[in-house]
Amino acid sequence: MSDSVRINPSILAADFVNMQAELARIAAADFVHVDVMDNHFVPNLTFGPQMVERIQATSPVPLDVHLMITDADRWAPGYAELGAASVTFHLEAATDPIGLARRLRQIGARAGVAVKPATGVDSLLDVLDEFDQILVMTVEPGFGGQSFMADQLSKVSRLREEVRRRGSQVWLQVDGGVSASTIAQAAEAGADTFVAGSAVFGADDPDDAIAALRQLAVGAHRH
């Protein structure tokens, strides 16, 4: 695996009232991770398209939008049309995941698919290249600040094995409880893209925290 490691801070951990200033604090990030929740697919409500559009207009880094919403087939393309660099929908919320991924790519976004802790990844192994990113949730989606579920890393390893076997370019992302104490473990399992919330925004200097996380992940890959 190459040393290309992506750190995508989650704005769930940011100060929503000062969003523009918070975004300016993470200029060293690869993407900003934006969690869209509809209070149906998960028991929480966050941003809709208007807020995402404003974040898109003010963010110094591209948007990695994670849709925790029902009826992804209907709503996901709109986020790609807003200019998000990457749009990830849940496998559990799409009736035609491959068709949806192709539509997102057609609009110009990277297409990602996410799986909740209870969902296996076997159905994705044969269709890896239909996606640009596969997100393995390492917490139950819905709320920030939860503990990292290390038992989910076997899915990451399984996907990484298949990525290597096929020479696929798909990115493997983990989201949930990622911090200085868990990132190396996730990187060793084969993840290359990491969503970190409080580990970044809770730091005195978020850019320093991003650099430290990146170093830990790169070190784990080399190891």
Instruction: List, for residues 13-32, the tens digit of each pLDDT value.
Output: 999 999 999 999 999 999 99
Residue 114 to residue 165: CA distance in whole angstroms: 21
Residue 113 to residue 22: CA distance in whole angstroms: 27
Identify the active-site residue in 30, 35, 64, 192.
35
Task: Output the pTM of the full model.
Answer: 0.96
Catalytic annotation on 175? Answer: yes
Identify the active-site residue in 30, 64, 132, 175.
175
Q: What are the start-end ranges of the E strands in 133-186?
A: 133-137, 171-175
Per DSSP, the three-state class of 115 is strand
- Name the pLDDT band for 89 (thresholds 50, 70, 90): very high
pLDDT of 2 over the 60 cut: no
The domains found in the chain, sorted by start residue, are 6-222 (3.20.20.70)
